[in-house]
Structure 1
Amino acid sequence: MLTWVPWVLLGVQGVDLDEGLGLLVFGLAASGPSLAALVMWLRRRREVRPGPRSRLSFGAPVAAVLLGGIAPVGAAILLNLNDLSAIPDHAGPVVADIGGPVIALVYTLLAGPVAEEFGWRGYVQPRLRQLHGRVVTTVVLGAAWGLWHVPLFFVPGTGQHDDGLFTQYGLVFFLSLLPLTYLMLFVTERLRGGVLAAIVMHAAWNLTDELVPVPGSGGLWLRLLLLLVTAGAVAVWWRHRPR
């Protein structure tokens, strides 16, 4: 409700998201998962938090960056082997348009990772893990994460709207959320990075996705394949080293 109602209204009204009230409403609605988690935490602040505690270390954030960026960067390298300079040539103007590296980094952290992950990985995930294994948790949380994004495909001015819901871009978007959910489960639970690691990985995925050249149809599926291979490799490693 915190997200869908405002987004649906914005889509129906065709509100400009570039500035003013439309941007404010959109940003607050995008923070629905974390705001909902905050409300639930305030209501049940005496409840013992389930799941393993996070620990302060460099391992989990570094792994989160690598796992979040490996598929977009890897696909971009493979697609531009004949002209690798195309990657920095694309990234430079993108960063400049946002306002520079610092603003780009802050914007990437806030627009998505911080707005969502306190809800998805901070509140919902550990409670699912109390009842289900890793695979079921991944499927349920990944499906919920995808369903939450659906209104964006009907809000003009968003990347999802530009890609289209009933296209291969929309299909790959939703399919990608499952391996991403599993990898976030890995960095938050197995590496004990907590919600901070999820924020870092989410930001790494979003930022690298923006900085590399836009892939064509084949590149889109190549990126998904690399993401699936990465999640599969992590699953095998986790199975043999469960603790």
Structure 2
Amino acid sequence: MTVLYLAVAFLAAGALGAVQPVTRIPAEVVQLTQFGPALGVGIVALLWPGRVRELFAGGRSVRVRGALLLVTAPLITIVAAAGYAAVTGEVRLMRPAAPFVLVAVAQLIGACGEEIGWRCLLQPLLRPRFGRLGASMVVGVVWGVWHVQVFAQHPLYAASFLLAAVSMSVVLGWALDGAGGSRLLLAGGFHALINLGMLLAMDEESGAVLPMVLFGSSCLVAAVWWVRAAGPGRGSAAQSSTPAPTRLPSIMRDVR
């Protein structure tokens, strides 16, 4: 299942990326490559419907962690943008060419097209084998490599992007561990907020190295905070497919 999903996600993304110029859909609105993982989920769901239903099955409520996850996304951008301003003396605030509401909605749809594969299928699929941290890091590396175009950039740019991908995957792994039906919307919301924040406040899409280094560093800080705040997790290769309960700080436990 894993190999087939990844093969479809990579190949479909490449095909959709090649088609995008023909559609004339601006990349700042949505990148069609984002729907490669969704197509991968569709294919494996046809072959293993019971297993996919099990992975997507409802879990416990993660309202507090979900809210903190959605707050984390703009904080990552703010820290990266503040670092950029401190280093360069410039404050970058850009406006998309397309209407902002259209961009925001399209970014959410595109982000969900990715996250239905990475966070709703692959991460919970690998979690029993590798544990929460291991699964988060493996998916983060694969997710980063899936953005193959970054490897045409400066090596420091590519390394920082991979750091960001792994760090965001850890944040999502901790925030959504054991989550049920809300997992897709929360993961997609986090992803979309990251994309929108970087679109408006940073210029890493140009290939500039400094913004990507600052973004990767900001994501790493967020990941470290989540791991330290919520605990190391108890997942291991010997565990069953049922996610281990997440240990939260007492204040988070009380209001959950």
Q: TM-score band (shorter)?
A: 0.7 to 0.9
Give, in whole Å, the separation in 2 of the partners of 1:82 and 1:39.
47
Contact 1:165 1:171 in 2 (8 A): no
User: Counterparts of 1:80-91 in structure 2 under 5 Å?
Assistant: 80=85, 86-87=91-92, 90-91=93-94
Q: Is 1:76 the counterpart of 2:68 in the alignment?
A: no
What amino acid is aligned across from residue 20 of structure 1 in structure 2?
A: T
Give yes or no for contact 1:60–1:187 (8 Å, CA) kept in 2.
yes
Measured in 2, the distance between the counterparts of 1:82 and 1:172 equals: 17
Residue 201 of structure 1 corresponds to 190
**Equivalent pair of 2:12/2:33 in contact (CA under 8 Å):** yes
Identity %: 20
Whichever residue aligns with residue 103 of structure 2, its letter is A
Q: 1:234 to 1:186 in 2, by over 3 A?
A: same
Asked if 1:239 corresponds to 2:231, the answer is yes
| Aligned residue number for residue 108 of structure 1 | 107
CA–CA separation in structure 1 for the residues paired with 2:185 and 2:194: 14
Other-structure match for 2:38: 34
1:4-15 alignment, distance < 5 Å: 4-5=10-11
**Can you give the 5+ residue segments of structure 2 that lack an aligned partner in the other structure?**
1-6, 233-245, 249-256
Whether 2:214 is the aligned partner of 1:222: answer yes
Change (3 A) 1:55 1:200: farther
2:54 is equivalent to residue 49 of structure 1? yes
* 1:236 Cα offset (Å): 1.0
Asked if 1:172 corresponds to 2:160, the answer is yes
TM-score by length of 1: 0.74
Q: In structure 2, what is the Cα distance between the partners aligned to 1:122 and 1:183?
A: 14
Residue 2 of structure 1: aligned partner = 8
How far apart are the structure 2 equivalents of 1:218 and 1:202?
A: 21
Partner of 2:133: 135
Distance in 2 between the 1:145 and 1:117 partners? 10
Measured after TM superposition, the shift of residue 207 of structure 1 is 1.0
Shift of 1:84: 9.5
Q: Which one has more relative contact order, counting CA pairs under 8 Å at least 6 apart? A: 1
Q: 1:231 to 1:82 in 2, by over 3 A?
A: closer
Query: Offset of 1:60 from its aligned partner?
Result: 4.3
Cα separation, 2, equivalents of 1:210 and 1:27: 13
Aligned CA distance change for structure 1 residues 9 and 78 (closer, same or farther; 3 Å): closer
Seen in structure 2, the aligned counterparts of structure 1 residues 179 and 190 have a Cα distance that, compared at 3 Å, is: farther
How far is 1:52 from its partner? Answer: 7.5
SS of 2:58's equivalent in the other structure is coil
Tell me what 2:254 maps to: none
Aligned length: 221
Instruction: Give the Cα–Cα distance (whole angstroms) in 2 for the partners of residues 29 and 82 of structure 1.
Output: 33
Counterpart secondary structure, 2:8: coil
Tell me how far apart the structure 2 counterparts of residues 73 and 3 of structure 1 sit (CA, whole Å).
31
Q: Distance in 2 between matches of 1:57 and 1:9?
A: 36
SS in 1 for 2:119: helix
CA positional deviation for 1:64 = 2.5
CA RMSD of aligned residues (A): 3.5
Q: What is the rounded CA distance, in whole Å, between the counterparts of 1:59 and 1:203 in structure 2?
A: 19
Contact 2:156-2:213 within 8 A present in 1 as well: no
Cα contact 1:4–1:148 (8 A) shared by 2: yes
Residues 61, 201 of structure 1: 8 Å contact kept? no
Relative to structure 1, the CA distance from residue 2 to residue 30 in structure 2 (aligned partners, 3 Å threshold; closer, same or farther) is farther
